Amino acid sequence: MGQDSTYAAEQATIGSLALGQVPGTVITLGAAGVIPSNTSSVRVTATAARAGIIIAPGTRPGQILVVHHEGVAANTLTMDVVATSNVSNGVLCVITGPAMKIFVWDAVTAYWSSLSTS
């Protein structure tokens, strides 16, 4: 019979899941701004409501990306259409600030899917 173990760490890598600390840099997005996906967590903001937002394609199946929107509630971030934004629900994906949204990369469809419905 196996033995249970508990580990405490600031960063964990489990298979293709890697969760790390939120970077210190906040990216200010303009219209048609691009959210990078080369890290597991990204901080963004906007000086006004922005549409046409794109998330860069993922690099591995099941990749997780946490987007932290640090702007005020009125400065929403609305994704572009599915084929451009790389997000499965396209313009229906809106991130209000201050909030976060978690995305998972589906390598079969080549789109990010949000874990939340709002």
What is the domain-level CATH number for residue 40? Answer: 2.60.120
The stretch 79-108 carries a mean pLDDT of 96
pLDDT at res. 85: 98
92 is a domain residue: yes
**pLDDT at position 8, please?**
54
The region, left, alpha or beta by phi > 0 then psi within -120 to 50, assigned to residue 6 is: beta
Note whether residue 3 is domain-resident. Answer: no
Q: Is 85 within the bounds of a domain?
A: yes
Domain that includes residue 101, residue range: 12-23+32-114
Q: Confirm whether 80 is domain-assigned.
A: yes
Q: Is the confidence at residue 101, as pLDDT, over 70?
A: yes
Q: What is the mean pLDDT of the chain?
A: 87
Which residue in 4, 107, 19, 117 sits closest to 57, CA to CA?
A: 107
Structurally, the chain folds into a number of domains equal to 1
Judge residue 81's burial from the number of C-beta atoms within 10 Å of its C-beta, 0-12 exposed, 13-18 middle, 19 or more buried.
exposed
* Predicted TM-score of the model (pTM): 0.80
pLDDT range class, residue 115, cuts 50, 70, 90: confident
